[in-house]
């Protein structure tokens, strides 16, 4: 299978901005970015699927950049119901440092912070140089914005679309960059980012960025989205849904991760193996066969837990989590207490980055 065919087989592509992108993905060599806002000090399982897509692209010869929205995070991506609560600049900075450390350790991605260049744009420049490229009717047609019109949306939230589009422009094109943003100017001159990857709820923001670049620089850039990962009821894995499973083992232990994945619904486990693991098509199809013939053995579930925990926390953490689970199942309370004590002793708390 080509890279694009594999991504399709795994159910990881929903929208693409151009048919040309398929060949470009298969060829390798693109610099691309994914983004997240620093609304917490750790990524969660809801983020993991898109980060693993980025790892797949990296393994296929593409170069990933993680853009953490230190600027956009102060505003917040519009939600379907109510406006996000504002968080302090100090909290945003702390969360940024934690996410940067986590992503570099787990995935090895390059990390940038859009606050480094957006902070130098004043209001008049923002409206004059960027606002003129955005048609209000186009912005109102976005699903999230349209759904919020009945209950009300502030200008601050409404402007998030423009700010998000600026991220893509700055990573691709330095022609209109504030000259004080030297960090970004260096990034453009050495990387030339031409692709954005995100969850399907970000499609409107991706197309805004593509449209802005086409209008202002005439360059062709690309984007694709993946479907949001949900359970069988359509509920997504995310912090805003109140069911966050954190990637930081000090916030969600390897044991809790094990319990979460070992207990996912039978109807979803094969889809999750495709999304969350690097097991081959043949291996996953074999687990699908075993799951259909002997679901009580939960071999697919065990493989899912093993692959994810080992990737995130290492083999030792997985083996400890499995041992704890078996001790609990077999009522081996002596071993359970001993292993729990070891886990407690190893925990350092927070993300290892102090607050300022």
pLDDT digits (tens, 9 = 90+) for 242-279: 568 999 999 999 999 999 999 999 999 999 999 999 99
HSE, side-chain direction, 13 A CA sphere, residue 310: 12
* Residue that wins the pLDDT comparison between 80 and 283: 283
3-state class of 172 per DSSP? helix
Measured CA distances, 27 to 6, 21, 60, 88, 295 (Å): 14, 10, 8, 43, 40
151-154 LR contacts (CB < 8 Å, sep 24+): 151/81, 151/82, 153/78, 153/83, 154/83
Q: What does the alpha-carbon distance between residue 161 and residue 139 come to, in Å, rounded to a whole number?
A: 8
> How much is the pLDDT for 81?
52
pLDDT at position 140 over 80: no
Strongest mean pLDDT among 38-42, 76-80, 112-116, 299-303: 299-303
- Out of 218-222, 223-227, 294-298, 312-316, pick the least confident: 218-222
Sign of CA dihedral 206, 210, 211, 212: positive
The residues facing 36 across adjacent strands are 68
Which of these, 273, 221, 223, 253, lies nearest to 344 by C-alpha position? 253
**Cα 213 to Cα 289: distance, rounded to the nearest angstrom:** 47
Which is higher by pLDDT, 198 or 137? 198
pLDDT recorded at residue 27: 96
Confidence tier at 21 by pLDDT (50, 70, 90): very high
d(CA 208, CA 165) in angstroms, rounded, equals 6
Q: Strands 110-113 and 63-68: what pairing?
A: parallel
Residue range 188-203: average pLDDT? 78
Q: List CB contacts of 325: < 8 A, sequence separation 6 or more.
A: 255, 258, 259, 262
Q: Are 185 and 177 in contact (CB under 8 A)?
A: yes
Helix (H) or strand (E) holding 322: helix 315-329
Return the axis-axis angle of helices 315-329 and 333-346, rounded to nearest 10°.
150
CA distance 35 to 43: 12
C-alpha span between 136 and 158 (Å, rounded) = 10
Rg (CA), the chain: 21
- Grade residue 120 by pLDDT with cuts at 50, 70 and 90: confident
Which of 344 and 197 is assigned the larger pLDDT? 197
Residue 223, pLDDT > 70, answer yes
Residue 39 and residue 240 in contact, taking contact as beta carbons nearer than 8 Å? no
């Amino acid at each position: 299978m080509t890279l694009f065919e594999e991504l399709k087989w795994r159910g990881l592509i929903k929208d693409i901005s151009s048919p040309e992108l398929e060949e470009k993905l298969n060829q390798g060599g693109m610099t691309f970015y994914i983004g997240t806002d620093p609304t917490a000090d750790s990524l969660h399982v809801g983020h993991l699927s898109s980060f693993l897509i980025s790892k797949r692209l990296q393994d296929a010869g593409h170069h990933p950049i993680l853009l953490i929205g230190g600027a956009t995070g102060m505003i917040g991506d519009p939600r379907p119901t109510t406006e996000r609560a504002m968080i302090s600049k100090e909290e945003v900075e702390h969360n940024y440092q934690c996410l940067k450390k986590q992503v570099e350790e787990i995935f090895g991605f390059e990390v940038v912070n859009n606050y480094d260049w957006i902070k130098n744009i004043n209001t008049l420049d923002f409206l004059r140089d960027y606002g003129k490229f955005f048609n209000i009717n186009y912005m109102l047609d976005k699903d999230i914005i349209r759904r919020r019109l009945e209950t009300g949306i502030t200008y601050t939230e409404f402007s998030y679309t423009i700010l998000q589009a600026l991220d893509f422009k700055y990573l691709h094109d330095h022609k209109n960059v504030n000259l004080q943003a030297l960090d970004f100017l260096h990034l453009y001159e050495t990387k030339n980012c031409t692709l954005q990857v995100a969850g399907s709820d970000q499609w409107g923001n991706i197309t805004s960025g593509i449209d802005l670049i086409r209008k202002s620089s005439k360059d062709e850039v690309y984007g694709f989205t993946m479907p949001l990962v949900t359970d069988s009821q359509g509920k997504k894995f995310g912090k805003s849904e109140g069911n966050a499973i954190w990637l930081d083992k000090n916030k969600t232990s390897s044991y809790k991760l094990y319990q979460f994945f070992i207990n996912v619904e039978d109807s979803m486990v094969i889809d999750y193996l495709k999304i969350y693991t690097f097991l081959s098509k043949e291996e996953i199809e074999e687990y699908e066969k075993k799951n259909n013939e002997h679901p009580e053995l939960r071999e697919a579930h065990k493989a899912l837990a093993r692959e994810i925990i080992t990737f995130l926390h290492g083999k030792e953490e997985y083996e400890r989590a499995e041992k704890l689970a078996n001790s609990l199942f077999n009522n081996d309370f002596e071993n359970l207490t001993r292993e729990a004590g070891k886990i407690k002793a190893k925990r350092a708390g927070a993300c290892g980055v102090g607050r300022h």
